A and B are shown apart, each in its own frame.
Chain A
């Protein structure tokens, strides 16, 4: 575990070193993070621990999670830090936040695609109604400076294939007639409710719409293309692509993801929404090839193993608004992100 911790610590230090000043408003503040032990949550804690250790930020963090004890035991290098206070609870039943809270990041959500099909009502409940509970509680805070709502790039609906990147004004509509639609719909509804809170109560709210990511701490059990490719490469299996490999995504490294979210908290304009992700498209075949090159012998790449009518899709954000208004940039290119992720998974 030590090697893995060191690898992540180096990444956290590197991204912070390039933009410490952007995060200065967070110094000497109290941050509440819901869903603080998930993929994004743990990376936020890694960055915040670097800010406190190396840059004397003195930021206090309340981490709200369903299973904090498990997290503390599994990640003692974060769980044991005095400035991190862990609070156990379910976002659906949240009633109040610590009174001294200055900033809130609402990251609690069910994002596991397997649940969208198996337990869609719970996904809707947690993502939509959990957000409402959080917003109500945040609305009562006396010293609140900003709330960042973690939404999703899927709220835009499917990206038209002839559009290279989608910006924050894009909308193609979401189909709601199958259970799998619940994730995008729950996030869209949470955004609509958040806008209503802003309208009624002038809640200082910034919305972040994340796209796709890769990096340490991401479970390889998740059935996404990048996790499938890495897991199958690690186990010596061929990389299987259902279609012809022309589907396009973009992947941002985890440390950049967490940094951009903190930048949105520190620099984001209330009422604004920001795409967070990589603007550099890559098709699935090229991604599989990029991953396979890290293994000897290189695993085979099989295309068209799915149904013949497999649909080609595209999902790539335009992040000009975030780079302009938040002052952020991509610090880890995709090839390096893949290399780092594989190294982390093979480290002790």
Chain B
């Protein structure tokens, strides 16, 4: 077992944004951030589901403007550090990142698709140069081998990333995948390695523990699993399991349990559940955050949302390509119509 102190990151107020179509309220941020601070969780991540600068008609408008979200969270945090998710393409350096630095964000988790780490160089360098912490995030890790992930992670490390987190964005990984991939990074990198799970196949905790056993020193969990698709690894279960297994961490178990109870209350109507769509999303290897727009498109075009997911999986669609959902649904509807035409 890893004897190092495990860093726990809570992206409830960022990943959960997907679960409620980006309608997290100011009150929810204030209450949950206060609970996380009390629980001494290392980092709280806040913002639009797709990160800084992503609030848009294409991927969904945040109810509360980004700056406001960060200001509210900042005012509630002292020991717990404030983190944001950054995806080059959504977040620009001069506008969003510099703005977030001014608002007192401590950690910038700069992410890219798992084979496109090159895109993060300027963002990571900028963050490091202004004296803030930068981690590299590789998303959709089921789409790359451990060798490719290590190569990409090394790029981020060379840009100055002080931690690398693998995100199982589609919840498509099994524990043995996680063991191999986290193990490769833990052995091949100098900086700490982390894991961010999704629960599409009901494996979020098993995968997170596999990551820790393979050498991860950072782990993500959200209150009641409030996150995209079938949700993330519930932080209360994760911390409980870590305590039971003897891992060292800073967070207070009881207070984490309290925060999770609060999450259940605050986000009651949008808490993720495992259902046909999220399971298929995991099987198809499609980004969990697509669940809501897929269901909407399926209703609109009168097609089976599960078919949309499998077709998106065939096309290897990744986060940021949300506009393809409707195109796929339309295509499926057209094919369905043709197949129902009488044969002449």
Contacts and interface: CB of A to CB of B under 8 A. Distances in A.
Interface stretch (A75-83, A85-93, A111-119, A274-282): A111-119
A307 B193 contact: yes
Interface string A105-130: 00000000110111000000000000
A220 B151 CA distance: 24
A154 to B, nearest CB: 15
B215 A117 contact: no
Interface stretch (A54-62, A184-192, A230-238, A331-339): A230-238
Contacts of A114: 121, 125, 155, 158-160
Question: What's the dominant secondary structure at chain A's contact region?
Answer: loop
A179 interface: yes
Contacts of B2: 308
B217 interface: yes
Nearest to A223: B160
B121 A310 contact: no
A305 interface: yes
B342 interface: no
B325 interface: no
Contact of B3 (A180, A234, A236, A308): A308
Contacts of B117: 118
Contact of A306 (B128, B155, B159, B190): B190
A307 B191 contact: yes
Contacts of B121: 114, 118
Interface string B120-137: 010001001111110000
Interface string B84-117: 0000000000000000000000000000000001
B145 to A, nearest CB: 14
A180 B158 CA distance: 10
Nearest to B215: A307
* Contact count band on B: 20 to 34
A310 B154 contact: no
A304 B158 contact: no
A240 interface: yes
A327 to B, nearest CB: 38
A306 B193 CA distance: 8
A21 interface: no
B189 interface: yes
A173 interface: no
B129 A231 contact: yes
B190 A117 contact: no
Interface in B156-201: 157-160, 162, 186-187, 189-193
Given A235-B130, A307-B217, 14 more contacts: A114-B125, A114-B158, A118-B118, A118-B155, A178-B154, A179-B154, A220-B129, A221-B129, A223-B159, A231-B131, A234-B131, A304-B4, A307-B186, A307-B189
Interface of A: 113-114, 116-118, 178-180, 220-221, 223, 228, 231-232, 234-237, 240, 242-243, 304-310
24 contacts: A113-B158, A114-B155, A117-B158, A118-B117, A118-B121, A178-B154, A179-B151, A180-B154, A180-B158, A221-B129, A223-B160, A232-B131, A234-B131, A235-B130, A236-B131, A242-B190, A305-B162, A305-B191, A307-B189, A307-B191, A307-B192, A307-B217, A308-B2, A308-B4
